[in-house]
Amino acid sequence: EAGVTQSPTHLIKTRGQQATLRCSPISGHTSVYWYQQALGLGLQFLLWYDEGEERNRGNFPPRFSGRQFPNYSSELNVNALELEDSALYLCASSFWGGRHNSPLHFGNGTRLTVT
């Protein structure tokens, strides 16, 4: 069984540009989560998608957005990049039954560097 896959593994952008990060969940998982791990700040919850809809988002500005496709894969878009957006972006997936969640499976992350 393939794990959660993220692409690209590394991404270098300049300030003001847009970045697009992609995530494919484990087969059978309907939920995708995005997290940001900036240097010195620890992991922070960004977004949760389930069945194609955004279910919850963390305390991030609207220039962080995303979507989930019918095949449950997901895309994270970061517009108007700022230097402090440089971080490791992790995706995770699970099966959300409406009340109880299955354990999370994480991808290896996309390291975004903004210069």
Partner 1 sequence: KNEVEQSPQNLTAQEGEFITINCSYSVGISALHWLQQHPGGGIVSLFMLSSGKKKHGRLIATINIQEKHSSLHITASHPRDSAVYICAVDALLLRGGATNKLIFGTGTLLAVQP
Rounded CA separation 50/40 (Å): 30
Nearest to 24 by CA among 6, 8, 9: 6
Closest CA to 46 of 75, 10, 71, 70: 75
Shortest Å distance, C-beta 16 to partner 1:
26
* Tokens matching residue 19: 């970045």
Q: How far is the CB of 34 from partner 1 (least distance, A)?
A: 11
Tokens 């995770």 map to which residue?
A: 92
C-beta closer to partner 1: residue 43 or 83: 43
Nearest approach, Cβ of residue 63 and partner 1 (Å): 20
Is the CB of 66 or the CB of 107 nearer to partner 1?
107
Decide whether 16 or 61 has the Cβ nearer to partner 1. Answer: 61
Least Å from the CB of residue 107 to partner 1: 8
Pick 40 or 70: Cβ nearer partner 1: 40
Binding residues for partner 1, rule: CB under 8 A, are: 31, 33, 35, 37, 42-45, 48, 50, 55-56, 58, 88, 90, 92, 96, 99-101, 103-109, 111
On the CB side of 75, CA atoms within 13 Å amount to 10
User: Which is nearest to 33 in space by CA: 21, 16, 19?
Assistant: 21
